[in-house]
Amino acid sequence: HTALAPRDAAARRKGKARRGRGKARNEGLLSKQKRSRRMKANDRERNRMHHLNSALDALRSVLPTFPDDAKLTKIETLRFAHNYIWALTQSLRLA
């Protein structure tokens, strides 16, 4: 049993050395993969925000605002739309 111990230790060292050399080669690949994933995530987020802003612009276009050139913020647009829908609902109930 003790005669196998030095061979096991040598085998472990060889395995670690191989992994170490491979790690250096793979670090560049991993870095490129991480950059690629980050760029894709950024693109998705950019598109998501573009769609959200387009939807808010469409909502602003149907809301009555005074003055007409005043652009509401995102939260103002949502609050105004909520209140406007509520007011329209109330007027329908009363009619």
What the chain holds in terms of domains, given with CATH numbers, is 27-63+71-94 (4.10.280)
pTM score, whole prediction: 0.64
Nearest-angstrom CA–CA distance, 13 and 10? 5
Q: What is d(CA 16, CA 23) in angstroms, rounded to the nearest whole number?
A: 10
Q: Could you read off the pLDDT of 16-56 as tens digits, one per residue?
A: 555 555 566 688 888 999 999 999 999 999 999 999 999 99
Quick: pLDDT tens for 2-19: 555 655 555 555 555 555
